[in-house]
Chains A and B, each alone.
Chain A
């Protein structure tokens, strides 16, 4: 079966795109899929450090596009998972070094040999973002339950609709259940009501995410972490499995309503 090409975008920076790509990639690869992730943020690469592969970079995506190396030479194999690869972004170039047709051509070569190609989009809605969605079969929009992140997510969803890349699916990242309960944070229902797209995952705020990125070993490896569990669930949903959304303590009735909202129950 040819690869599913999935781009993760957000509009706003700092909502967790790179962390989500790294974790979904690790979760998919731990579950036997062959995965390639591509850092689409030319000039501001970060997926390499989140995956702990920063010391292994020899060639990058711009070297492939400009013919200085073969595609395989720029693919870094993960330390723990032999079926997980990273194509790093160039750090000393800018987004103009890559075009949408370059991305489409590069990904075409990956489609036959892998199960998933995950693309980490840069923040913003300009060229880098357009490149990142050019070859995508599916786009996951990630946001936080916070006004500016939701507003920017809505812009991205609007652009995806007009580019006929939709319907996008939503990852709601860094949800704080206690704040939702005291009605000082937008609830998943609020965000879904505002953005009106399908939900694919809710990731609770979890300090283990920071600890994991300090170590360069994504939290999806951590069996006890709730965020890790949430990312593993997203990976399962991408494979077509039906997985109930996390029940975040004492949120029973609320979470049941969310599940109903998302058509999972």
Chain B
């Protein structure tokens, strides 16, 4: 990596290799494409919204890895909780 790359904040190539591989391997291992993950997200929103009101904009869903096993992680903030606290005041 040249001085100029460093100066202009270009990331070192080993790092980009690792980051790109991390994403590719998750998809290879789970057979889950980004498009499928989006449709899973939409289904989750629809199902959960039937029971509680959720903050769709703040919702996060992704696949994390722990060793060689993959984990689907969803962080879904609830809207209804806030309304309840207001009522009790």
Segment touching A, from B15-23, B35-43, B72-80: B15-23
Interface residues on B, range: 10 to 19
Docked pose: A64 CA to B88 CA in angstroms: 84
Residue B56 is within 8 A (CB to CB) of chain A in the complex: no
A residues less than 8 Å from B18 (CB atoms) = 186, 190, 193-194
Among candidates A147, A161, A182, residue contacting B68 with C-beta atoms closer than 8 Å: A161
Question: Is A178 interfacial (CB-CB < 8 Å)?
Answer: no
A208 to chain B, nearest CB (A): 25
Q: From residue B64, how far is it (CB to closest CB) to chain A in Å? A: 13
Contact between A186 and B29, CB atoms less than 8 A apart: no
Please classify how large the interface on chain A is, using the bins under 10, 10 to 19, 20 to 34, 35 or more. Answer: 20 to 34
Contact with A along B19-31 (1 / 0, CB 8 A): 0111011001100
Q: Is the Cβ of B68 less than 8 Å from the Cβ of A151?
A: no
When C-beta atoms are compared, the residue in chain B nearest to A146 turns out to be B17
Among the stretches A108-116, A152-160, A225-233, the one at the interface with B is: A152-160
Per DSSP, chain B at the interface is: helix
Within 8 A of A (CB), among B47-89: 65, 67-68
Among B28, B65, B67, which residue has its beta carbon within 8 angstroms of that of A151?
Answer: B28
B13–A183 contact, CB under 8 A? yes
**Chain B positions within 8 Å of A195 at CB level:** 68
Q: Which residues of A contact B14 (CB under 8 A)?
A: 180, 183-187, 190
B15 nearest in chain A by CB position: A183
Residues of A contacting B13 with CB < 8 Å?
A: 183-185
Question: Does A74 touch B at the CB level, under 8 Å?
Answer: no
Chain B residue numbers with a CB within 8 Å of A186 are: 14, 17-18, 21
CA distance A195 to B25 in the complex (A): 9
Question: Does A210 lie at the interface of the complex (its beta carbon under 8 Å from any beta carbon of B)?
Answer: no
| CB pair B1 A151 closer than 8 Å | no
- Let me know if B15 and A154 touch, CB within 8 A: no
> Would you mind naming 8 contact pairs between A and B with Cβ atoms under 8 Å apart?
A151-B21, A154-B25, A183-B1, A184-B14, A186-B14, A190-B14, A194-B21, A197-B68
Chain B interface (Cβ within 8 Å of chain A)? Answer: 1, 12-15, 17-18, 20-22, 24-25, 28-29, 65, 67-68
